[in-house]
Structure 1
């Protein structure tokens, strides 16, 4: 018998005990496991040997097992032991009695098998099952027949079923679009692609529909196919998107469309007019002397005037017209007509003048309000929404300067003269070669620590005669002439080289953000150009952030996503600049592979005085955090703005409160002394 036991697997321990529990034999595997010799343990009570030293509870179990074996009973239980290396091993221990010919117990055979790995695997499996069952997200396991084989607690809660009721239920009971044929097609797609993501509507047990996003993975277990699906309830996200969509496109006081919404409608109307050869007009009405009313009645009284004016404008315009509030005291009205002859701009303007000038009853006082109107028409006064709005505003200023309470149409020939434009264009063409252009850096501050979190590279032009030329004056010229492509590449190269120099000298400026122009972004080989430039300058891609605007992304969404995805794969970060002022739908945000949202300074500027701007900023921050995006507030100028933004969860800011844009040498000096921006 000893020979048989010695030949057992190294993981099987075996021995012999007397009826009194004294060890008379132990096989080699048992001795080697704890590093002892036979003479050290044989002849001793089994419960006093090193195998049982680790656990007093196990020793008690052994004594009970020896007594039971004496009565002819077999015992089996798990035993922890310390092996020769001091590691705890788990043994599946069995004690069996052996009988003589008369049926009496003559000795006992203890045996044990090392099950450490198996118990660990079982524990990990239980832990995984517990984690899946208690996960916050809804998780389903669907079999090949389209039936629920497993649903965790979150899934049951989301659909309003008990696990017992949900298990075995057909997928078509939960999602009406997932018919038997649709499920087979979906499962085939999963098998070929490995995974898939889709949006659908799930049916709650009470019949209500829940918008969901499903991320499904194909698995096979013991030859049987399954779909393992993570399901996200989109109800809260959709509500947040709708709220932000409303806040970014409608005025909170008057409930009218805002400037952003007007530009969308105006752009669509111009596209239709270009196709159908029709007519579009924009009238901008500015209230005269609203400041005097605010002084006399307070801002609450001024708000009542604005609200009443909005109602009057909405009532007096034609049904096909759109009324929007585009500024503090300015409203815009967009009209369309089949032909220019059908357009009665003067008649429309007079109707507005008459409606607004009717006395208002505010705080038991009769208030007389008038307005001035400027108008511009497509195609004579402009060919896009921006140009029409700009020219209508120009005409409004002319109306106010001529005495107010009147209408002024835009006179394109007179207003379009810009004697400085040509000379600026000529000078800009040689500015780069003459060294007149430079890059300044505006620090981005972590407001929790006051540390530098990064910086934005900003182009500056010092004209030899005119001094500093505002970027808003020369950048549009660069865009129109195409000069911005070479200038933009120079800015990008300069910022990358400077960042590398800073890092080489031991300074850590964070990511440097560089604004791309629309022309640059439309270049088919942009991603390749950026990577070549990074290679040439020696800067790691992770230290570069490219800032894009919503409008340039919306020109060709699919191409924009492809370019951004390629840049992201290289390791370059993407920031969406001036967020909230462009035209992108919020549904595009999850498609755009971006890292950072930058809140436009127009919202930040009014965050302390305009509840709508504060609500928009708060909603943008909340949405960015929910999408795991960084969020940066631009144009922070006062401690109160900083405080409100911090309370909303914004941790990175830039603006004059912390630091103005400075040359590279100045920022180098500030980093070396350890003070970049004032910590608020």
Structure 2
């Protein structure tokens, strides 16, 4: 700064020499009559020099009134004639605060008699353009008696120097921000503001090209209308997409002097007109290799082309913007490499550590749940050993891509290492009941065959699940508990899914809702199934069993279905609960057959929500294939209310189930308004007479008539009839007399454990 001022002082020195020559000629005249000063100066031989000087020269009296000013001074203050300035003060010409400061300094000079040299002044313009900067010296003017009678001011315009100095300072600050890795949006906004500071009536905008090179997105536009910035955010680039879209497409500047007539703006003219923007000059931001990173644009409300100086600023801005954007992208590449797996591209443990604390904080604040699923590939070692590590790598990449496509955008999947993965299901609502279904779907996606070297490779998985907040409060606890559940899934035979559940009595844990308890029960050993025999009334033998789920609650004891099925229906947990019953019933029935016991049909209830699940048929196939049970020994019980909600869809689903060889029955027949229509429409094998009819038999004549008619109708339709809730000998006798096929109820047996069914099948009831 001192060096700069010394140079500026040297530049002003010649003017000061000329001024000294003027002083000798003006001092006596000034003392005699201020009015004659101008006349005296006019008579001087230096008259032409004074008015032709590019620097400012003026004389003021002790009251701060202009006595004389050269032409450039008058013109700058808005006067064509220098003489018109005489008698006016700074208070007449400048903003009050500026004039007050000038007057204060000048009065100090007049009182002290000491000159002030090389003062830097900021002078507002009279036309609204940016302020001017001057380097000013003010010297006291004395008469023959050495009395101070006024002052002479000499100024040089240093606005351009000041602008360049500010520009260099701004550039240095921007480069410092880049070096300190400040956020890119802050750097770009500061860059636009720096450019706008040196211009009048111009607003800047930076748009960033996406990694695919197809669209431009908002980078910075601090003074453009926000509504306009939103409208152009995400605009596609192309050969005629305004100024910016075209500049990014061409890789060259696009200067549009009149938006209303230029064909490049034809499709966007209506968007921009309402904001009063008339010209737009856009320059691509490029890498040194010539790749487009984005665009820097200047907008004006006037129809015009940019000046040379404006384009110089754009060149500077695009250069710095390119440095900032490339630095940001380099940081992102480094972060990605440090937080992602080289082989699969999935996030790694470092990424998981960074994200989990934030995820749990948000979940705790919003009372949400987070589920983590620890996935281990069951037979991956066999692939590496049999086909080689190259094949193993291909399998891992394929399975990673499948899992990513199977998850929501808000979910996270991490490769922990080797053949282990972790899925984090985030942003769950209080009643998000689809977790089990989604994880089973993920398991099925993993198990689809993979073509490797002309061979189909199948990989199964064991999944352990833990949920925040009740299975752990920290990422470490959740991961450890999900890992423990995964090992339990391995021990249960692999290709299974297991919830973590290990809450000792009296443990200091967060209170959980009944829904949460039921969710855990589905994935643990709390749910179990009892079976109630269905007896052929002619032979007295067991020909079928109905699977009935029970809940062994840790605090409330064994709960019958009526205590928790409504909750499961309400929350959506009925789907994973129903799948649990389906799989276990098929497995148990096949186990009895493998013991050499007489084969029987196993009946499983299907709820309305299960029936509406598009994957129902797939779940049935999966249960049959996993257990090895022949489809003819599985019967699905449906209620007529479920079927009548959407008859065309119900028919489609039932036919798809029928093609599998599975039997279908209508449950609680006679309780709905459309029972006869249901029998006519749907492909049933059996109907179950509701216990409400059986209870009134044979006392109530109306019930007797209805029950007789139902049995007769079923026989004509070639449907077997099962009477539910048979408890007395009278009821049994009526059913036999009316040729009912089968009966079920306490008259034969209550629902019992699998071991008791084994005895019954072996020895008879």
- Scaled by the length of structure 1, the TM-score of the pair is 0.37
Q: Which structure is larger by alpha-carbon Rg, 1 or 2?
A: 2
TM-score (norm 2): 0.33
